Amino acid sequence: TNEALKVFPLGTVLRACPEISSYGPNGVIGNWRDLMTAAVTVRSMLGVSPSAYQEACEAMGSENAAVTIACILERAGHINSAGGYLRDLTSKTKRGVFSLGPVLMALLRAHGQGDKRTG
């Protein structure tokens, strides 16, 4: 049995991945359902196949698959194949070697909202 991935607070996810908010209903993400709806839109926009996303949902859980799509959107300029990247993360999840924590923390730092508070 693989250990379920931790689900992070939605607020943390949206601070790390602000881009996804534009794709929520009326340009706002207020809850997990909104995030999952936005992720489906973004998935097709990024060229990720429905089957790749479905596999990610089964391996990670729907919330974390949506968060992963949000992270991929945030770094879309640095990722050659979003679908291939998602499949790679899905297979790492199945092997128990992928965690969203470091990804989210890196994005928070990139947006200047990491753990280190100055002043």
DSSP per residue over 46-66, as a string?
TT--HHHHHHHHHHH-HHHHH
Query: Backbone dihedral region of 61: left (phi > 0), alpha (psi from -120 to 50 degrees) or beta?
Result: left
Summarised one tens digit per residue, pLDDT across range 92-113 is 999 999 999 999 999 999 988 7
d(CA 83, CA 68): 11
Summarised one tens digit per residue, pLDDT across range 40-90 is 999 999 999 999 999 999 999 999 999 999 999 999 999 999 999 999 999
